[in-house]
Amino acid sequence: MRGPLAAFLRKELTQALRDPRMRLLLLVVPVVQLTIFGLALNSEVRNIRLAVYAAPSDTLAWQAARAAYASGYFLPSPAWGQPFDRLRAGDADAALVAAPGGMALALAQGRPGAQLLIDATNTVKARAIEAYLQAAAAPSLPQPPGGSAGVAFSVRVHYNPALRSPVFLVPGVMVMVLLMVTMILSSMSLAREKEMGTWEGLLAAPLSPWQLLLGKTLPYFLLGMADLPLLLMAAKTFFDVPIAGPLWMLALGGASFIACSVALGTLISTAARSQQQAMLGSFLFMFPAMQLSGLMFPVENMPAFIAWTAWLNPMFYFMELLRNVMLKGGAPAIFWRDFGMLAALAALLWVLAWRRMSQTLN
Amino acid sequence: MSRFAARRAWAIAGKEWRHILRDPFTLGMALIMPALMVVFFGFAIDFDMKGIRAQMVDRDHSPASREFGRVLSASGFVRLQAPAPGELPLTALGLGRAKAVFTVQPGFARSLAQGLRATVDVDLDGSDNQTATTLSAYLAGFQQAATARLAQPPPRALAARYLFNPELSSRFFIVPAMLALVLAILCVLLTAMTVAREWETGSMELLLSTPAQPLDIILGKLLPYLGLGLAAVAAVYVFARTVFGLPFAGSHLAFLLALLLFLLPCLSQGLLISVLARQQVVAMQLAMMSGMLPNFLLSGFIFPVESMPRFFQLATMILPGRWFVLICRDAFLKGSGPLDLALPFLMLALTGGLLLGAALARFHKDLEP
């Protein structure tokens, strides 16, 4: 490739990759991050510290406690002092307090045999604790006559039968890391030229506005596309996240998402006057977009006046696309809808960036 | 010449402050964004799943099975839809039309009438872990409610009581921790850029040719952002108490102390990055990678630290956000005594001191010819 555009592209790529630390940040750190978060995060609640307050002679209570500890979700915590104080001090997550006089007596009288105190500062954890404990303790408690009657559920979990967290979270973290790398870099590169005063030099160069736009964005697009297979490989090898669907779907989806993210970065940088502003601007977009993308909180569970923002959020579509292709094998209807929305958003953002760019030039 | 003079540090702080004031965008972001986010997320994020899309396939067509459907709907957790004709449960899950499909098998009513166990098949979409896990936790409640309505319920052996947040309000869970998160991110990001900017634009040489000593410069750089951080906290605190009606069970004085102790490591982390990077792009990436993601994902904000593998439980000890999330939840909801919080306080002071020391040492080294 020759001509001013090629020279400009070369300059941009050299600038981005000149610093060895930057090469590390762009190509190695994303994979390391993915690995760390994939290993650490677990949406299943574990290691619940359970303190048992029961008389040593209360065999029923201790049976229930032993069953809970044997389930693997609970850890013993010493029952010192008052249960409430233990929970408040954060030394235990839950306390099983047997009824005075023993569980057997209370149950025989038709009262609850024990009270389960749960620290509810984390509401998700609190619910899980109750569900786990009720399930673990139930077999060890005496069945009342006719107790087996009633409704029971037989549950099957699809696509991720063991509900392994990496399978759910790794695609999400991939989206996050990709967005961070591409959007921030592209937003800061133009702002940097403005801050350093080299922007005027570029304007004086024989480059048309679209060449300028392309030169400022294409390198970051390419860097993002280089990160995508790295992240996919890490997801597959380290976490055994399945890639059930075809790779071309991932490539197409990735390309359209990265196009969105780079265009957004450019849009921000046309408005920003310094790198600090560009950074804060990216952040202002990124943080809400991340939380409202369905990465951790289902969007449909949000109030309507916020949920609609998901319709404009590229992260939302890419997240859905990744989960659909990687875990479910890529139902075409869903894929084309998500890809279509991503492509439409990318086109819209590019037109906006283009218009802003030409305005800056005049 | 003395190594440190309050007057010089103050002068540098004044200069830095003017930098901030001159840039209303940054100032506005620093003040409004945290409050905006807390309000936004206080409204948006609700761990009580309501209206999860679910389907019910009724193969029994009995009054009992219809009653079962009404019990499910009445809980408010699921929004029941009838499946499209001939659609299999797996198709509905695969196309994302439902997160869960309840299939009532034939003989449901008969089993109930005979005092036997009547089974309902539940298919969950495991590609959305969060919803699937939450739904499985709700199933116990559905089961109890349905049994109570349709059969003779057995007496409950264990009565659960939720402490510190009896209504299990997600807001009480999210908002205090959000305070820690927003502050951690904002302070690291803002300070990470400051020293790097001076190096990049060449004004650091100017600053060094003045009588100001390294400690003066570092402290002068920290002070204005400390002020900004405190102002942001005040705004968030007012929102949390008024808009969300959060209680404040702890002592305000202890909380203020914790806040200062927490801002120190955050600001120092930003400074260290800034001194190391010398370039704003690099500083920014480092701040995002070391400040934003760990504080978001590893601090216990959503994913409990105790549920992590042992290694990460230990590794996150050096993450100030982890301790401050704990302190915030405690101060707002629990109000325990100072002795119970000795470890978090200690760890904050320790990491703050270490990071500030490292930033200072590194800065000194840079200045040696």
The verdict on A131 and A176 lying in the same domain is no
In a domain, B162, yes or no: no
Q: Which of residues 347-366 of B touch A (CB under 8 A)?
A: none
The verdict on A173 and A321 lying in the same domain is yes
Q: Count of domains in chain B?
A: 2
Q: What is the pLDDT of residues A140-189, one digit of tens each?
A: 777 655 455 667 777 777 777 777 777 777 888 888 888 888 888 888 88
pLDDT at B341: 85
CB B282 within 8 A of CB B200: no
Q: How many angstroms separate the CA atoms of A167 and A341, rounded?
A: 24
* CA closest to A89 among chain B residues: B340
Task: Check CB contact under 8 Å for A29 and B289.
Answer: yes
Residues of chain B under the 50 pLDDT cut: 1
Our CA-based measurement puts residue A16 at a distance from the nearest CA of chain B, in whole angstroms, of 9
pLDDT at B181: 82
Give the residue numbers spanning the domain of A118. 48-140
Q: How many angstroms separate the CA atoms of B311 and B9, rounded?
A: 41
pLDDT at B3: 58
Beta-bridge partner residues of A77: A51
pLDDT at B48: 67
The verdict on A213 and A305 lying in the same domain is yes
Q: B97: helix, coil or strand?
A: coil
**pLDDT over threshold 90, residue A252:** yes
The verdict on A296 and A219 lying in the same domain is yes
With tokens 């299939």, the residue in question is B103
The verdict on B185 and B298 lying in the same domain is yes
Q: What is the pLDDT of residues B39-93, one digit of tens each?
A: 777 776 666 677 788 888 888 888 888 888 888 888 778 888 888 777 788 788 8
C-alpha dihedral sign at B8, B10, B16, B22: negative
Chain A residues whose beta carbon lies within 8 Å of the beta carbon of residue B161: 115-118
The verdict on A195 and A179 lying in the same domain is yes
* CA closest to A165 among chain B residues: B129
Give the residue numbers spanning the domain of B69. 52-150
The verdict on A83 and A224 lying in the same domain is no
CB atoms closer than 10 angstroms to residue B197: 21
Our CA-based measurement puts residue B362 at a distance from the nearest CA of chain A, in whole angstroms, of 17
Write the residue in A64, A117, A302 that is nearest to B161 by C-beta: A117
Tokens coding A295: 């990465």
The verdict on B194 and B313 lying in the same domain is yes
The verdict on A65 and A36 lying in the same domain is no
Write the residue in A22, A143, A153 that is nearest to B143 by C-beta: A153
pLDDT at A199: 80
* CA closest to B124 among chain A residues: A157
The verdict on B136 and B260 lying in the same domain is no
In a domain, B301, yes or no: yes
Select from B19, B97, B164 the residue whose CB has the most chain A CBs within 10 Å, as the one to mutate to test that interface.
B164
Q: How many angstroms separate the CA atoms of A330 and B249, rounded?
A: 50
In a domain, A54, yes or no: yes
The verdict on A111 and A16 lying in the same domain is no
The verdict on B139 and B253 lying in the same domain is no
Among A106, A140, A174, which residue terminates a domain? A140
In a domain, A147, yes or no: no
CATH code at position B58: 3.40.1710.10
Chain A residues whose beta carbon lies within 8 Å of the beta carbon of residue B278: none
Q: A197: helix, coil or strand?
A: coil
The verdict on B181 and B41 lying in the same domain is yes
Side chain identity at A236, as an amino acid letter? K
With tokens 């972001």, the residue in question is B29
* CA closest to A28 among chain B residues: B289
Establish, for the pair of chains A and B, how many residue pairs have beta carbons separated by less than 8 Å.
351
The verdict on A97 and A246 lying in the same domain is no
The verdict on B25 and B108 lying in the same domain is no
The verdict on A30 and A64 lying in the same domain is no
Q: What is the pLDDT of residues A189-247, one digit of tens each?
A: 888 888 888 888 877 877 777 788 888 888 889 989 988 998 899 888 888 888 888 99
Query: Could you tell me which residue, A40 or A87, shows the higher pLDDT?
Result: A87
pLDDT at B1: 47
Task: Check CB contact under 8 Å for A157 and B306.
Answer: no
pLDDT at A345: 95
Q: A109: helix, coil or strand?
A: coil
The verdict on A118 and A260 lying in the same domain is no
Tokens coding B137: 């936790």
In a domain, B155, yes or no: no
Among B122, B150, B178, which residue terminates a domain? B150
The verdict on B41 and B59 lying in the same domain is no
The verdict on A346 and A231 lying in the same domain is yes
pTM of the shown model: 0.78
Chain A residues whose beta carbon lies within 8 Å of the beta carbon of residue B126: 157-161, 163, 167-168
Q: How many angstroms separate the CA atoms of A285 and A296, rounded?
A: 17
Task: Check CB contact under 8 Å for B132 and A119.
Answer: no
Q: How many angstroms separate the CA atoms of A75 and A140, rounded?
A: 18
Please indicate if any CB of chain A lies within 8 Å of the CB of B155.
yes
CB B26 within 8 A of CB A280: yes
Alpha helices in A41-164 (DSSP H): 59-70, 83-88, 103-108, 123-137
Q: B116: helix, coil or strand?
A: coil
Q: What is the pLDDT of residues A337-362, one digit of tens each?
A: 999 999 999 999 999 988 888 777 66
CB A306 within 8 A of CB A294: no
Q: Write the CA distances from A306 to A318, A359, B46, integer angstroms.
A: 19, 32, 12
Chain B residues whose beta carbon lies within 8 Å of the beta carbon of residue A45: 304, 307
Q: Count of domains in chain A?
A: 2
The verdict on B106 and B210 lying in the same domain is no
Q: What is the pLDDT of residues A67-121, one digit of tens each?
A: 889 888 899 988 888 888 888 888 888 999 988 888 888 888 877 888 888 888 8
Tokens coding B225: 């952002």
Identify which of A353, A13, A347 has the alpha carbon closest to the alpha carbon of residue A213: A353
The verdict on B228 and B127 lying in the same domain is no
Written as one string, the DSSP assignment of B290-356 is: IIIHHHHHTSSSSS-GGGS-HHHHHHGGG-HHHHHHHHHHIIIII---GGGGHHHHHHHHHHHHHHH
Chain A residues whose beta carbon lies within 8 Å of the beta carbon of residue B155: 107, 110-112, 144
The verdict on B233 and B102 lying in the same domain is no
Which residue spans within chain B are E strands per DSSP? Answer: 52-58, 78-81, 100-104, 117-125, 158-163
